[in-house]
Amino acid sequence: LIHHPEVQQRMREEMDTVVGRFESITSAHRAQLPYCGAVLMELQRLVNIVPLNLPRTTTRDVTIGGYSVSKGTAIMPQISSILYDAKIFPDPHAFKPDRFLTEDGKLNNVDEWIPFSLGARRCPGESLAKMELFLFLTNLVRNFEV
């Protein structure tokens, strides 16, 4: 984000337009600030703080990518392999928040965006973490040039 002042400026413009320059940003504004949400999603995609997931055990014999994996085998899902997959996220090493916006500027929730993991072992604090990250990022960018 520090290398993209134009992104910070666009975030500020969205916040100023939607919230006003002197009003506090709250959790109620999250749905009204799609570009800010897209920036947060792109940051979490690029800078995945938990690249390896918790270990899991296969419940049956499976074939993954042509490899046979026996029932009971411990596996460690590697989240970044999805978050950096060029078939899902074209130009995966580039910072492009717009990839998470629809053509009409709404936030697009991409199923493969899984920084909190997926399935039954998904982070139980995901909703709280998303809200806290949103409040932290928007208030930081709004009040400081990073």
123 labeled binding residue: yes
Place of tokens 């009204």: 32
Query: C-alpha distances in angstroms, 1 versus 39, 73, 101, 102?
Result: 9, 40, 17, 21
Q: Residue 30's closest CA among 20, 22, 21, 19?
A: 19
Is residue 37 within 8 A of residue 107, CB to CB? The reply is yes
Q: How far apart are CA 77 and CA 83, in angstroms?
A: 12
Terminal alpha carbon distance of the chain: 8
| Binding region for heme | 123
| Binding region | 123
